[in-house]
């Protein structure tokens, strides 16, 4: 079975086209693409999408439709939208655009807004597929542009999950205006992160976790910087491990850099230059709490996430 999964978040829109053999539990990737479109531009402040963000997303989705067609089509497609679309009052503009573009690849296909809990469950399914079940329970953290999902579970499934209204774009737009951020801005950002993560830590008993797994662009970029990769290399990043001492050093360094300095990092995607500092502050706060509660002292970074979860679920429908 050939499936296509599309994840449209606050910062990026991503595509996975994969084959799944009968009875198999893994995917054979045919295409895995990512475009930074910043769909959530200004949504935290205004509660609505701006036209230029809708247009950037339209262009990227049109490219994805062409890629799917070039591979001969798919048996099933699912497009999910997450934090920014949950928050935007004019989301109908987004739905109208996506339904027009998706029609050629799947009649009746529409983008769907998933709840934070559903987003968490799909991220967990995608993230743990390549891990040894003996290393569970796993705490999977999907740090996105507008929200951060914490999910606790093991081979039998998810036992607790929470979606926190904090992400790299939301935090940057709200708190980090200067280049580089001032000490006052960083202090305010840390307070905001603590406020937004507190309900997640109450809902998800991180003390039960044995392995912390981080997914999505902030985490993978931090892993690339930690390894001093000359360019972004998914194979080097996938399942790499970062000790908390090094993790804090990298996060502090990224927060203190200017945009020009971040842009000069070979593994840094241009679309993450202005928000990686915010993502680093969230990551550091997570490490502090997780380490104190569970005794975990390192972060495992996975390239597999909600996209893989969507594709695997399509294959068994």
Domain that residue 233 falls in: 131-301
pLDDT per residue as tens digits for the range 253-302? 999 999 999 999 999 999 899 999 999 999 999 999 999 999 999 999 99
Q: Contact at 8 Å (CB) between 180 and 258? A: yes
Domain annotation covers residue 121: no
Question: What distance in Å separates the CA atoms of residue 18 and residue 1, rounded to the nearest whole number?
Answer: 8
The mean pLDDT value of the chain amounts to 91
What per-residue confidence (pLDDT) applies to 143? 94
210 shares its domain with 98: no
103 shares its domain with 137: no
**Mean predicted confidence (pLDDT) in 35-46:** 87
Residue 219 sits in a domain whose CATH number is: 3.30.420.150
Question: What distance in Å separates the CA atoms of residue 305 and residue 117, rounded to the nearest whole number?
Answer: 14
**pLDDT-derived band at 9, boundaries 50, 70, 90:** confident
What per-residue confidence (pLDDT) applies to 21? 73
**Using the 8-state DSSP alphabet, how is residue 33 labeled?**
E
Rg of the chain over Cα atoms, rounded to whole angstroms, equals 18
pLDDT per residue as tens digits for the range 69-91? 999 989 989 999 876 787 788 88
Q: Is 16 helix (H, G, I), strand (E, B) or coil?
A: strand
**Using the 8-state DSSP alphabet, how is residue 233 labeled?**
-
What per-residue confidence (pLDDT) applies to 47? 87
pLDDT per residue as tens digits for the range 201-213? 999 999 999 999 9
Query: Based on the structure, what is the number of domains in the chain?
Result: 2
What per-residue confidence (pLDDT) applies to 250? 97
90 shares its domain with 152: no
Question: What distance in Å separates the CA atoms of residue 35 and residue 67, rounded to the nearest whole number?
Answer: 13
Look at residues 287, 27, 282 and name the one whose alpha carbon lies nearest to residue 171.
Answer: 282
């Amino acid at each position: 079975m050939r499936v296509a999964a599309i994840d449209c978040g606050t910062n990026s829109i991503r595509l996975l086209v994969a084959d799944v053999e009968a009875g198999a539990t893994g995917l054979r990737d045919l295409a895995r693409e990512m475009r930074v479109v910043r769909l959530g531009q200004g949504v935290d402040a205004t509660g609505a999408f701006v036209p230029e963000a809708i247009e950037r997303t339209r262009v990227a989705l049109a490219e994805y439709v062409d890629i799917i067609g070039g591979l001969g089509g798919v048996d099933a497609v699912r497009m999910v939208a997450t934090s920014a679309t949950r928050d935007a009052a004019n989301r109908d503009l987004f739905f109208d655009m996506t339904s027009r573009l998706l029609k050629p690849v799947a009649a009746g296909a529409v983008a769907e807004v998933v709840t934070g809990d559903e987003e968490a469950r799909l991220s967990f399914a995608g993230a743990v597929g390549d891990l040894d079940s003996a290393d569970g329970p796993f705490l999977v953290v999907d740090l996105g542009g507008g929200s951060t999902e914490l999910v606790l579970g093991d081979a039998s499934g998810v036992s607790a999950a929470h979606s926190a209204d904090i992400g790299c774009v939301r935090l940057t737009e709200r708190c980090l205006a200067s280049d580089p951020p001032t000490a006052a801005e960083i202090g305010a950002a840390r307070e905001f992160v603590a406020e937004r993560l507190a309900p997640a830590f109450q809902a998800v008993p991180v003390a039960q976790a044995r392995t912390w797994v981080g997914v999505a662009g902030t985490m993978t970029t931090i892993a690339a910087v930690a390894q001093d990769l000359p360019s972004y290399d998914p194979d080097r990043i996938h399942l790499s491990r970062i000790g908390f001492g090094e993790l804090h050093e990298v996060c502090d360094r990224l927060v203190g850099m200017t945009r020009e300095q971040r842009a000069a990092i070979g593994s840094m995607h241009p679309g993450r230059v202005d928000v990686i500092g915010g993502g680093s502050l969230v990551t550091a706060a997570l490490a502090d709490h997780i380490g104190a509660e569970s005794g975990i002292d390192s972060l495992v970074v996975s390239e597999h996430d909600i996209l893989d979860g969507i594709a695997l679920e399509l294959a068994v429908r």
